[in-house]
Amino acid sequence: MVCVAFGLLPAWLFSQENHQQKSYTGYPQLIGEIVFATMQYSGSPYLFDRFTGGNVIMLSGTEVPVSFLRYDALNDELFWMQPDEKGLVKVDKNLIAGFHLEHPSQDSLLRFYRNAVLEIDGLRCRDCFIQVLYEGEFSLYTRRSKRITSRSETITQGSRSQRVRILDDDFSYMLIYPDGTMQTVRPSIRSLINALPINNRELRQAMRSDNIQINNDKELVQAVKWFNSFIEQPKEISE
């Protein structure tokens, strides 16, 4: 059975944190609280199921390289592992502007920044981490959250069984306009077309001509990239 470093829980069983009132300074700039597993859920609260490398960006702009980082999408917190692997350190958000996280299975770096206040289409959060998916004339960001569902299941560890709540992904996507305003979008052709400031019929014809499809976030990113190219060099649309 695969186990995680904090508390040696099975990989499919994760937790909320329990705070100790002290700080750990293995990375001098990244002072934070040591936390341990207490409340269990079915499913991982983390964006990835294992630690990855990355950089933490301080408010001064200094980047601190860290070997073992993890983003808790349920509680919107960033953690790094102590060298002795006896606990996690929750980074103090007030000290950082964002972070970069290496994708565990792809050769890519995920960029997050800390947004002071986000209120849009029912999505509200303060000091939350936002991932930059694409930046251009029109940009695309996402809020990668987890939520506790009303569903539950029984988990057995040895001779002990426990009923736990199930976690699900709860991602939101935001299209950023050139003037800085934003609107939520979904990974679909209709949602993106309705959010873009151009004649819907013209845009739909151009997307069909270039075989643009949107069924997931990767295709949504490609569609926003395509749109930026489209408005820079508009194509002639036949009626």
Q: Judge contact between 19 and 43, C-beta under 8 A.
A: no
pLDDT at 51 over 50: yes
Identify whether 97 is part of a domain. Answer: yes
Q: How far is 78 from 85, CA to CA, in rounded Å?
A: 16
pLDDT of residue 21: 34
The answer on 104 and 38 residing in a single domain is yes
Report pLDDT for 239.
45
At 177 the pLDDT is 92
Say yes or no: 59 and 110 in one domain: yes
Query: Is residue 165 located within the same domain as residue 71?
Result: yes
- Tell me the pLDDT band of 117, cut-offs 50, 70 and 90: low
Domain range for 216 is 187-239
Q: What percent of the chain has pLDDT over 70?
A: 77
Q: Are residues 231 and 159 in the same domain?
A: no
Q: How far apart are the C-alpha atoms of 197 and 10, rounded to whole Å? A: 48
Q: Helix, strand, coil: what percent of the chain each, to 5?
A: 15, 50, 35
DSSP run (H or E) holding 111: strand 109-120
Task: Give the span between the Cα atoms of 155 and 49, in whole angstroms.
Answer: 18
Please determine, for residue 108, whether its predicted confidence score (pLDDT) is greater than 50. yes
Which pLDDT does position 77 carry in this prediction?
93
128 neighbors 143 (Cβ within 8 angstroms): yes
To the question of pTM greater than 0.85 for the whole model, the response is no
Residue whose token pair is 């007030």: 94
- Our count of domains for the chain comes to 2
Average pLDDT, the chain: 80
Tell me the per-residue pLDDT of 149-161, one tens digit each, with 9 for 90 and over.
999 888 887 788 8
